[in-house]
Chains A and B, each alone.
Chain A
Amino acid sequence: MKFRIVVLAVSTLLTLNVFADSSVGCGLGSMIFKENSLLSSSARVTTNQLFLTQYLGVTSGTSGCARHDIVLNEQSHVHFAEVNLKSLSIEMAKGQGEYLASFAHTLGCNEGATEHFAELTRSNFSKIFPSYKTNAQEMLNNLGQTLRADSELKNNCRKANLI
């Protein structure tokens, strides 16, 4: 009988993991990456994280952790690019996709210019992503030059001159 109680207790304790979501912490700090990016847990305690938090409108927080991270509009493209760099690279290569369309939106591109934007990124893929190590900042710099060289997108993407 005692053994059964012990088994019941242990098994119940072990299964209770299933009821908790695996998220920990808050905001971007809750993302756990193995690779050493600006968002990796290993970088969480370094000054690199300030690169991203400066683009968040932190209005209040407790325990040093922001509860309501509103992404500042003017930097929304940077935030999006940093989080979704891989997905963006794939969709830029294809010249289509939801991430690409959303990214164009964060750059202030008119809806009518989205298709042209997507085609531009595809045809200039190697220029925007010159190597597999291209990071978000480099990608944005390259993309900015590409956008400004295109007269239609220069006028139809509000942030073309900002990146």
Chain B
Amino acid sequence: MRTGLLPVLLTLFITVTALAQNPQTIDEIANSSQWLKLLHYHQGQSEVDDPRFFAAAEGKKSSVAELKEILTNYESQKYHCRFPARLKYLQEKMSLKVNWQECSEFLQWKQSLKPESISLVFASFYPENPASAFGHLLLKINQDPKHGLLDYSINFSAETGEDKGVMYAWKGLVGKYKGIFHLEKYYIKVKEYKHHEARDLWEYRLPLDSVMLDRFIDHLWEILYSASFDYYFLNQNCSYQIVKLLDVVAPDDSLHHKLLYHNPSDDLERIIETFKADEPIFRPSLYHQTKVDLDLMSRKDYRVLKKVIRHRRSIETVDEPSVLLGVNDFLNFKKESMRNATEKDEELHYKVLVKISQSNLKKENQDFKDYYNPPHRAHHSKRAQASVIQARDQMAYSLRHRFALHNFMDNDAGYLINSNLNLLDVEARYFQKDNIFKITELIFLETQTFTPLSIMRTKPSWSLDFSYRSPFELRCNYCGLTQAKVGRGLTVEAIHNKVFVWGFLNAYTQFLTEKQTFVDRFRYGPQLEMGIVWRISHSFKWLLKIHENFNFVEQYANESVIGETNLLYSLSQNLSFNLTSKNVLSTNTLQVDTNREHQLSFNYFY
């Protein structure tokens, strides 16, 4: 009995002595940057909601209480096995004696991870799926550089259940979902992102030293053990939590600051700058892997391939290696990404594989230079724009600001080419002659995809537009309308990666603001839009677009064709200018009339 009591009393004595001798030290440590980072504190309390993340009952709101509880009871409660990062930090600061050998489960877990380094992984933008439009960040624990697939991934995601649509969006906006970190084999995430969602993966190795790496793994145990967070789509999303996790091992305090919203590509740039990350390893999506092979095929072989995959020609009659490999690639893509492979396709795929094995076909290394477009080269998500405009009969000047993310005619380095996602974009103009200042455009949401049709992409392109605009075809500077527009279209890649041609059929509804009656305000009908873009490079593009509204409302029936040209030139990653011209071609007289507008814009992304 006496023997059992003695160690307890001794520990208590040491701890109380430590507390009594250094009350100021306790407060200093409890409010130190590192301690608060370990507890995921922000503005006076922890963002972790699960009480098991804390030793003290008040740990969520008092970093001092958390520290005191751990110091007092870490031996009896084995806090060092639950919160190893915290105890190691306290060991550094206060020379505590900690028996780590007691923590067999933690040590076994850590041993099995065998971390050599950490990588930040970015899964690319994918506008076909709105949930993937902004990209995604996750981490990877690197074990053996020769077998990256066998590494472990660290992913933060929300538990959304079966919710969809407006309910899903609403709950995500107000933080009704729980978000947690998961540790699982990297090949699972590769399959999910690279194969099923056809997204490129970019792996940026973060060169942490052994001490930082050790601290990161210790903290990961704490997080995985018991941390859950309220998931907010805008500012406490995957990107934010990855930043917070890395902040524990950041060289200074500059990495984390909470923003109105966290965009994965912006956070990616801050992380790789902070940690001086290596150049990325590129894992091209299954779509790009397949496309590279199909693009290299001769026309003759491509025709044979199409017949085979449509089951119009037997594979037994085909021996050409490029066709066999191409059919294999396509059928794999059809199964994994398009998710519509039939049993007949599976049978065919098997026969192809048998032939490939018998032919001993060795595949050359693929060249992905056309698709090597790393996300750290992307422009920042917000855009400020200043313009000089010749607006019909007078000069005008405008200021414009866009919340996110990327326009078709921006520099597309780091982004998917041929995609549009504009969110909360507002323009105000000052008309010099009339001395009038007016908000002329407010785009709530404008999104458009221009995915070229192919055997791999059979779904049409689509567009969505909710906005307030000054309708150019109505020949007025000061009128406005609110519109909702949806559309479907077809895009063709006329020259590989350089020239794209599209046609859209949109349906629109518009309300003019300056008219008196509902009947006079309301316009609706189909809109035909056609365009061509020439991508000379990421930073130099030219576009020509025409559209015509066919109004079902008789008084607006005699509409005109609007033509627009746009030339982009980027001076750097975040600085560019556009030269835009709009003209009206009257469908009655077939003449370009005096309703014209020319605009020179300077863009700054931040």
Q: Is the CB of B346 closer than 8 A to any CB of chain A?
A: yes
Q: Report which of B132, B136, B144, B159 forms a contact with A25, defined as CB distance below 8 A.
A: B159
Assuming the contacts A19-B261, A30-B182, asked whether A24 and B131 have C-beta atoms less than 8 A apart, the reply is: no
Of chain B, the residue at the smallest CB distance from A111 is B146
Contact between A86 and B169 (Cβ–Cβ < 8 Å)? no
Residue numbers in B under 8 Å from A80 (CB-CB): 150, 185, 187
Contact between A102 and B149 (Cβ–Cβ < 8 Å)? yes
**Binary CB contact string for chain A from 28 to 49 against chain B (1 if under 8 A, 0 otherwise):** 1011101000000000000000
**Binary CB contact string for chain B from 150 to 183 against chain A (1 if under 8 A, 0 otherwise):** 1010011111110000101110110000001111
Q: How far is the CB of B47 from the nearest CB of chain A, in Å?
A: 17
Chain B: interface size category = 35 or more
Contact between A16 and B169 (Cβ–Cβ < 8 Å)? yes
Contact between B112 and A69 (Cβ–Cβ < 8 Å)? no
A32 to B363, CA, bound (A): 31
Q: Is the CB of A73 closer than 8 A to any CB of chain B?
A: yes
Q: Is the CB of B116 closer than 8 A to any CB of chain A?
A: no
Chain A: interface size category = 35 or more
Residue numbers in A under 8 Å from B169 (CB-CB): 13-17
Q: How far is the CB of A152 from the nearest CB of chain B, in Å?
A: 20
Q: Is the CB of B74 closer than 8 A to any CB of chain A?
A: no
Contact between B130 and A26 (Cβ–Cβ < 8 Å)? no
**Binary CB contact string for chain A from 111 to 134 against chain B (1 if under 8 A, 0 otherwise):** 100000000001101100101100
Contact between A57 and B112 (Cβ–Cβ < 8 Å)? yes
Q: Report which of B150, B224, B421 forms a contact with A68, defined as CB distance below 8 A.
A: B224
A96 to B134, CA, bound (A): 34
A18 to B136, CA, bound (A): 10
Assuming the contacts A25-B159, A102-B150, asked whether A19 and B237 have C-beta atoms less than 8 A apart, the reply is: yes
Q: Is the CB of B357 closer than 8 A to any CB of chain A?
A: yes
Of chain B, the residue at the smallest CB distance from A89 is B353
Stretch at the interface among B291-299, B332-340, B552-560: B332-340
Assuming the contacts A4-B468, A68-B224, asked whether A105 and B147 have C-beta atoms less than 8 A apart, the reply is: yes
Q: Is the CB of B484 closer than 8 A to any CB of chain A?
A: yes
A20 to B131, CA, bound (A): 6
A14 to B447, CA, bound (A): 12
Contact between A22 and B356 (Cβ–Cβ < 8 Å)? no
Contact between B181 and A67 (Cβ–Cβ < 8 Å)? yes
Q: How far is the CB of A26 from the nearest CB of chain B, in Å?
A: 5
Contact between B233 and A126 (Cβ–Cβ < 8 Å)? no
Contact between B172 and A16 (Cβ–Cβ < 8 Å)? yes
Q: Is the CB of B482 closer than 8 A to any CB of chain A?
A: yes
Q: Report which of B173, B197, B228, B484 forms a contact with A13, defined as CB distance below 8 A.
A: B173
Contact between B159 and A31 (Cβ–Cβ < 8 Å)? no
Q: Is the CB of B92 closer than 8 A to any CB of chain A?
A: no
Which has the most chain B C-beta neighbours within 10 Å: A22, A62, A94, A98?
Answer: A22
A118 to B130, CA, bound (A): 40
A122 to B354, CA, bound (A): 9
A131 to B134, CA, bound (A): 41
A114 to B482, CA, bound (A): 64
Contact between A18 and B350 (Cβ–Cβ < 8 Å)? no
Contact between A132 and B130 (Cβ–Cβ < 8 Å)? no
Q: How far is the CB of A110 from the nearest CB of chain B, in Å?
A: 12
Residue numbers in B under 8 Å from A10 (CB-CB): 166, 466
Which has the most chain B C-beta neighbours within 10 Å: A71, A76, A90?
Answer: A90
Q: How far is the CB of A68 from the nearest CB of chain B, in Å?
A: 4
Contact between B237 and A83 (Cβ–Cβ < 8 Å)? no
Of chain A, the residue at the smallest CB distance from B105 is A59
Q: Is the CB of B567 closer than 8 A to any CB of chain A?
A: no
Assuming the contacts A132-B347, A132-B349, asked whether A11 and B357 have C-beta atoms less than 8 A apart, the reply is: no
Residue numbers in B under 8 Å from A34 (CB-CB): 339
Q: Is the CB of B423 closer than 8 A to any CB of chain A?
A: yes
Contact between B357 and A20 (Cβ–Cβ < 8 Å)? no
Assuming the contacts A7-B466, A16-B172, A70-B112, asked whether A23 and B155 have C-beta atoms less than 8 A apart, the reply is: yes
Assuming the contacts A79-B185, A93-B353, asked whether A20 and B233 have C-beta atoms less than 8 A apart, the reply is: yes
Q: Is the CB of B393 closer than 8 A to any CB of chain A?
A: no
Residue numbers in A under 8 Å from B159 (CB-CB): 24-26
Q: How far is the CB of A162 from the nearest CB of chain B, in Å?
A: 18
**Binary CB contact string for chain B from 175 to 214 against chain A (1 if under 8 A, 0 otherwise):** 0000011111101100110001100000000000000000
Q: Is the CB of B133 closer than 8 A to any CB of chain A?
A: yes
Residue numbers in A under 8 Å from B148 (CB-CB): 98
Contact between A62 and B166 (Cβ–Cβ < 8 Å)? no
A15 to B168, CA, bound (A): 11
Chain A residues in the interface with B (C-beta under 8 A): 3-4, 7-8, 10-28, 30-32, 34, 57, 59-60, 62, 67-71, 73, 76, 79-80, 83-84, 86, 89-90, 92-96, 98-99, 101-102, 105-106, 111, 122-123, 125-126, 129, 131-132
Chain B residues in the interface with A (C-beta under 8 A): 50, 52, 105, 108-109, 112-113, 129-134, 136, 144, 146-150, 152, 155-161, 166, 168-170, 172-173, 180-185, 187-188, 191-192, 196-197, 221, 224-226, 228, 231, 233-234, 237-238, 261, 328, 332, 335-336, 339, 346-347, 349-350, 353-354, 356-357, 360-363, 421, 423, 444-445, 447, 466, 468, 482, 484, 511
A-B contact pairs, 26 of them (CB 8 A): A4-B482, A15-B423, A17-B168, A17-B172, A18-B421, A19-B134, A19-B261, A21-B158, A22-B129, A23-B192, A24-B159, A24-B161, A32-B196, A59-B109, A68-B109, A68-B225, A69-B184, A83-B187, A86-B336, A90-B353, A92-B357, A93-B353, A96-B362, A102-B150, A122-B357, A131-B350
